[in-house]
Amino acid sequence: MMLQDIQSSFQQLVLNTECVDASWVSRSADSLSPKDRLAIYHNAYRVRLIDVLRDTFGHTVTYLGDEWFNQLARDFVQDHHSTHNNIGFYGTAFPAFLAEQLPDDLDVAELAELDWTLRRAFDGADSGVMTMEHLQILAQNTTNIVLETVPTLCLVTQRFNTLDIWHAIDQDNSPPVAKQLANPVDVLVWRKGYSPHFRSISPLETVAIKSVREGQSLDVIGETLVAQFPDDNVPVLFGQMLPRWIADELLRFDESDQ
């Protein structure tokens, strides 16, 4: 067989649900049978990907327990082959898979989504961060200030008390009973320094963050917030919000771009 044919056959054999024999594998009386030797690779592929899922979704592993998580992970690995050169990206569809498999326990999928988003924030691209001095310089040079968020920033929406569950697991405490929230809560995820962070945010801050990401200027954002939240003191709230964004390192600033 040509090398390309052997590679293609070997890949198909590894990805098949069951390991099978292959005529192109040399046979020797002094070693394992060809099928048993191939089974080593067939099994190792799955074990390695399950290990990746366990590492990425650590809180979800604790929440479900090893046996239940491993069974779900095995099913996921069989139906979702690794397609990235960087194995760290394997598992992007795992939260959605959990939602399909456990439709009556959607808190599990939400916890997995939080695990995944925090890992991606940790691995995300670097950038400069804005300081109050940078903001003052911008204010002096333009009346149409446009901000940028750091590339690791992400918004996720949660409908269960997932944050309480995550914190309990993180502190080695028994997680609370899952319950649906009266209203969905948006959670901001990003990396500050070398550590991923997250916190829940108000509907007003959600609109403000989304407006920044859409490239709206501060003036336009203010007008948008006043229109959508007429009962809130938007100037005061936004005046408190902006310094916190800067302190939390949510805003990108690279002097080379100026």
Does residue 114 belong to any structural domain of this protein?
no
pLDDT digits (tens, 9 = 90+) for 220-231: 999 999 999 999
pLDDT digits (tens, 9 = 90+) for 191-209: 999 999 999 999 999 999 9
Does residue 190 belong to any structural domain of this protein?
yes
Does residue 118 belong to any structural domain of this protein?
no
Q: Is 15 exposed, middle or buried (0-12, 13-18, 19+ CB in 10 A)?
A: middle
Token duo for residue 133: 């001095």
Does residue 117 belong to any structural domain of this protein?
no
Cβ 50 vs Cβ 43: under 8 Å? no
> Could you give the 3-state DSSP secondary structure of residue 93?
coil
- Number of structural domains the chain divides into: 2
Does residue 113 belong to any structural domain of this protein?
no
Asked if residue 233 and residue 131 are part of one domain, the reply reads yes
Asked if residue 38 and residue 93 are part of one domain, the reply reads yes
Q: What gap in Å lies between CA 4 and CA 10, rounded to an integer?
A: 10
What angle (nearest 5°) sits at the alpha carbon of residue 99, between those of residues 103 and 72? Answer: 100
Backbone angles phi, psi at 192, to 5 degrees: -115, 120
Q: What gap in Å lies between CA 103 and CA 195, rounded to an integer?
A: 32
Does residue 77 belong to any structural domain of this protein?
yes
Asked if residue 133 and residue 8 are part of one domain, the reply reads no
* Residue predicted with more confidence, 144 or 12: 144
* pTM for the whole structure: 0.85
Does residue 111 belong to any structural domain of this protein?
no
Q: What gap in Å lies between CA 114 and CA 175, rounded to an integer?
A: 15
Does residue 9 belong to any structural domain of this protein?
yes
- pLDDT band of residue 12 (cuts 50, 70, 90) is confident
Asked if residue 160 and residue 46 are part of one domain, the reply reads no
pLDDT digits (tens, 9 = 90+) for 211-258: 999 999 999 999 999 999 999 999 999 999 999 999 999 999 976 655
Give the list of residues 6+ apart from residue 21 with CB closer than 8 angstroms, or none: 33, 34, 35, 38
DSSP class per residue in 190-213 = EEETTEEEEEEE-HHHHHHHHHHH
Asked if residue 188 and residue 70 are part of one domain, the reply reads no
Asked if residue 129 and residue 257 are part of one domain, the reply reads yes
Residue with tokens 């800067």: 246
Asked if residue 84 and residue 50 are part of one domain, the reply reads yes
Asked if residue 85 and residue 141 are part of one domain, the reply reads no
Inform me whether the pLDDT recorded for 11 exceeds 80: no
Note down the domain range covering 229. 124-258
Asked if residue 191 and residue 93 are part of one domain, the reply reads no
Helix (H) or strand (E) holding 189: strand 180-192
Q: What gap in Å lies between CA 42 and CA 88, rounded to an integer?
A: 20
Asked if residue 88 and residue 137 are part of one domain, the reply reads no
User: What is the CATH number for 166?
Assistant: 3.90.930
